[in-house]
Structure 1
């Protein structure tokens, strides 16, 4: 029972660190964010940008990616390589007329995210099963002890 307060304290500290990091880190200040670009697009033309958005459609043979208050036609990915609803991370240069000259990108479909989470859950269950196969929880002293006969 002595270990329970220490375990709870460590979990609270860990949660505080995770929340604190999330609160402090709002992305890199090296590039303008989508809100700043959307408010004054013409002042950002020619600048490098690194943005995350969602494919919202195809216009004039270009993929259109939507961000918070901003829509851009990008040079890459090309139509047919992504679908509406895919999440896309792009890096490149802002061009006139809400065009984006893409240098690099990464697209992730909803099916990719489902697969990623499914594999993570399966791996966690397998790891927990392998651990609990050789160890058990002693509820009298709240600790892990080896199973008898293993």
Structure 2
């Protein structure tokens, strides 16, 4: 345990430096199919001819159903320039019924004229994203409530300390406001 404020600050700075290094290191990784990392929309938009005949994996919004067409968003930086946009891809051999507006994840072989012959595809209804955000927000609020009710911040040491007697949610809110005002 770190008992001094300087030690805590040093530990936080060290962890942030490691996080930054991992973001940079993993952000520059190129697709590696042998590791299960297939070219995606960014790679297809940057060099489509290089991936013809290769296995690819993309996710996009369904814009047409006969034939199935998806809009894949991409963004990449090349030669000091930032590129972003939407790549329209036609998907063949889709084994599930899809509707416009749904999200479709496709694994298959990339062909000429921006087509993918699907080997596997997964349909994600649009309502799933809404449910995901609602559940995540509720979980975050519940966690915050538990933190505020059961713990307090010791302003002299900068440490979280367990409350002797946990507060009720309304008490916690009042106490928090009073601590901030003091």
TM-score (norm 1): 0.70
Match of 1:49 in 2: 56
2:147 to 116, 131, 141: 131
8 Å Cα contact 1:63/1:77 also seen in 2: no
Residues 7 and 133 (structure 1 numbering): CA distance in 2 closer, same or farther, change over 3 Å?
Answer: farther
1:66 to 71, 75, 78: 71
2:136 to 113, 116, 120: 120
Q: Structure 1 CA distance, aligned partners of 2:26 and 2:127? A: 26
Q: Which runs of 5+ in 1 are unaligned?
A: none
The DSSP-based 3-state class of the residue aligned with 1:127 is helix
> How many equivalent residue pairs?
141
Residues 10 and 98 (structure 1 numbering): CA distance in 2 closer, same or farther, change over 3 Å?
Answer: closer
Deviation at 1:136, TM superposition (A): 0.9
Instruction: Report 1 or 2 for greater relative contact order, CA contacts < 8 Å, sequence distance ≥ 6.
Output: 1
TM-score (norm 2): 0.60
1:1-150 alignment runs, 5 A limit: 1-2=5-6, 5-6=9-10, 8-10=12-14, 12-26=16-30, 28-30=31-33, 31-32=38-39, 33-35=43-45, 36-37=47-48, 40=49, 44=52, 46-58=53-65, 61-67=66-72, 68-76=86-94, 78-79=96-97, 81-84=98-101, 86-94=102-110, 99-150=115-166
Q: Structure 1 CA distance, aligned partners of 2:113 and 2:145? A: 56
Q: Structure 2 CA distance, aligned partners of 1:53 and 1:74? A: 14
